[in-house]
A and B are shown apart, each in its own frame.
Chain A
Amino acid sequence: MNEFLVLVPTTQKLVGITDIIEENKGVLPVVCVTNELKSLPISNEYKNFVQNPTGIVENFTNISSYRIDVTDEINTGNSWQLSFAIAHLLHHKNSLIFSKSKKNLGDAKNIIWSTGRLNKNLDLIDVNHITSKLEISLPYLREAIQNKVNINICVSPNNYNEAFLFLKKHGLLKYVKFIKLDNLNNLSKFINIDLIPKINHYKKHNLTKLLKTFFISLISVCFIFSGFQIISHIKNYNEMIGKDNFLIEINKDRNSTNFFKSFAAFLFSYIQNFERLSKSDFLKVNFISNFSYNEDRKSKCNFLKKDNKFSLQSHCNYFIEMTNVSGRKLYLWIYKKNKSVLGDLPLEKSILAPGEKLILENENEKINRLILVFSDKSNNKIEGKLNNIRLYEKNVKIENQFERFTNLGFGFKVYDFSKNIHITELK
């Protein structure tokens, strides 16, 4: 693997990097002259250059603190950024050769002489004093050429011409690889080393972001499409409610293999059930016992209510009071199932004005089941459905019939009567 010595040119000295140490998290990144205890003035800039969110080095290496030792002081400016970034990347790849001392910047087959500032996108920004930095470096470069060292000189596109003129003037152009670098990502192809695991991570990060956006968009489009499909089906059901084949259609759709149809039918039934529950408040049903008193004039025929069950002593009589509390005209169908197998009780139909009451007696406890179906709209089909219960009671599940009432937009209340006058309200 190629190994590189990285040089940091300044206007005063050509500086080498003598050490890079990964420090613990709580330590601030520092730049020091080799082994000294004093941090150089650029240390705060270096901290911002290393650490997230401002820096770039931590992005590559996942390490948030370093101590970097250099051969000479670097006191101002930002042109060290490109060299430091390259040094960190090479160090991360174990391909960095450190300088030995101020006087002996190091022996290496490959040298990178670079100057420039970097932004967060790793674009190279031009810097000043290119000529004087090259001038200072000239003796070292000449010696390196003599020693047949591969010299890579990296500058930004805007600094290229100035450096080109200098190198041409001093006859160095044919001995060095002169790199016009617009972005640090592109350095790998010039120096034949896959520099940057973290820059791949950087790219991967962007790719992940792109994929995320794509999937979110895709899911959004699917949601919108599904939403349209489902809404259009529900709209269709709403228009079909009055039609003969509505219940057949919705039942067919619920069992359909088409997800949208099946889900829309389910959703429509669900919504209608909510509607039905709100309509169940339209009709208030009370069970009222006839007064019967003990010797001490205390009532002994009071309904006891527990959950959805009403109970009364067996010798007490009672009647059923239904009140329209909807505030509008209410159509009411009353289905009474007879206790005895023989003999039918007729289906009753009534219209209740707002606030109007209807009294129903359960003489001799003839009623076994009471179904009250009501709506603010008249619909003759409901009579057919209720008659169906009467005709096919043994074959038709009562719950299925209730679901049909719901789908058709009716409210209903069902009560079962058992011995000892226990009344159960079916929800």
Chain B
Amino acid sequence: MSQNIEKFQKTNEFKLIFESKNLTKVFYSFLKTNSKFFIPKAVAASSEMTVREFDGGKLTINKSNKNNGTIYINIILNETMDKSIKKLYVGNEDVFESLDLLEFIDNQTQVMIKQTNRIYKLIIDPNVEIFIR
């Protein structure tokens, strides 16, 4: 399963998992143990989170000043990782999205997304868990 998450299609495999509450629980628990970094749900006063700190680094969300709806997602790691990090997953019960990460240079990577992208709404939500692997 750990090998295949990246290959999962949004359709059938996920649908099957998220149909069952138990399977969903198992899935997130499995993802948590098999991720390089895990960002738990946040206890936040704000409904939008622009910085999520985690054990090993920091994730920041910045709106572009270009005003064209571009969002920068930056991940800064405290230490260099031996193995490459390729994906970011955001999930809350049956809502689950993934994002391809670019190569880390100087322990840092940046991805641009559109504000209309579903992952943006999820990533700023303090109630979602984030997995980096």
A and B: real partners? yes
Residues of A near any B CB (own CB < 8 A): 19, 21-24, 26-28, 30, 32, 35, 37-39, 44, 67
Please count how many residues in chain B sit with their CB below 8 Å of the partner chain's CB atoms.
16
A426 to B65, CA, bound (A): 77
Cβ-closest chain A residue relative to B63: A24
- In the complex, are the beta carbons of A35 and B112 less than 8 A apart? no
Task: Report the nearest A residue to B109, measured CB to CB.
Answer: A28
| Cross-chain contact B112 with A23 (CB below 8 angstroms) | no
23 residue pairs of the A-B complex, CB under 8 angstroms, read: A19-B66, A21-B65, A21-B66, A22-B65, A23-B65, A23-B72, A26-B60, A26-B62, A27-B62, A27-B72, A27-B74, A27-B110, A28-B74, A28-B108, A32-B112, A37-B112, A37-B113, A38-B112, A39-B102, A39-B112, A44-B105, A67-B65, A67-B66
A21, A24, A30, A37: the one contacting B114 at CB < 8 Å is: A37
Nearest chain-A residue to B58 (Cβ)? Answer: A26
- Chain A residues, CB < 8 A from B107: none
How far apart are B123's CB and chain A's nearest CB, in angstroms? 15
A24 touches B112 (CB 8 A): no
1/0 per position for B5-18, CB-CB distance to A under 8 A? 00000000000000
Give Cα distance in the complex from A67 to B112, angstroms: 11
Please provide the chain B residues from 53 to 69 with a CB less than 8 Å away from any CB of chain A in the complex.
60, 62, 64-66, 68
How far apart are the CA atoms of A23 and B74 in the complex, in Å? 13
Residues on A with C-beta less than 8 A from B70 are 37, 67
Minimum CB distance partner of A21 in chain B? B66
Q: Main secondary structure on chain B at its contact with chain A?
A: strand
- CA separation between A24 and B66, bound complex, in Å? 11
Give CA–CA (A214, B79) in the complex, Å: 43
Closest A residue to B51 by beta carbon equals A26
Q: How far is the CB of A103 from chain B (nearest CB, A)?
A: 21
* Chain A residues within an 8 Å CB radius of B74: 26-28
Measured CB to CB, the nearest residue on chain A to B65 is A21
**Inter-chain contacts of A24 with B (CB < 8 A):** 62, 65
| Chain B contacts for A21, CB-based, 8 A | 64-66
Q: How far is the CB of B114 from chain A (nearest CB, A)?
A: 7
List 9 additional A-B contacts (Cβ < 8 Å) besides A19-B66, A28-B110, A39-B112. Answer: A23-B64, A24-B62, A26-B60, A32-B112, A35-B68, A37-B114, A67-B64, A67-B66, A67-B70
Query: Which residue of chain A has its CB nearest to the CB of B74?
Result: A26
Give chain B residues whose Cβ lies under 8 Å from the Cβ of A22: 65
For the complex, what is the distance from the CA of A39 to the CA of B114, rounded to whole Å?
A: 13
Chain A residues with CB under 8 A of B112:
30, 32, 37-39
**Max chain B Cβ within 10 angstroms of own Cβ: one of A26, A30, A35:** A26
Q: What is the bound-complex CA distance between A135 and B32, given in angstroms?
A: 56
Type the 1/0 row for B92-122, where 1 means its CB is closer than 8 Å to any CB of A: 0000000000100100101011100000000
**Residues of the B chain whose Cβ atoms lie less than 8 Å from the Cβ of A23:** 62, 64-65, 72
CB distance from A21 to the nearest CB of B (A): 5
* Cα of A44 to Cα of B110 in the assembled complex, Å: 11
Nearest Cβ distance between residue A30 and chain B, in whole angstroms? 7
User: Which B-chain residue is minimally distant from A43 (CB atoms)?
Assistant: B110
Q: Shortest 9 CB-CB distances between A and B: which pairs?
A: A37-B112, A28-B110, A21-B66, A27-B72, A26-B60, A24-B62, A27-B62, A21-B65, A44-B105
Q: In the complex, which residue of chain A has the Cβ closest to the Cβ of B70? A: A37
Query: Bound complex: CA of A26 vs CA of B75, how far in Å?
Result: 10
In the bound assembly, the distance between CA atoms of A405 and B113 in angstroms comes to 86
The closest CB in chain B to the CB of A47 belongs to B105
- Please report the C-alpha to C-alpha distance between residue A321 and residue B53 in the assembled complex, in whole angstroms: 76
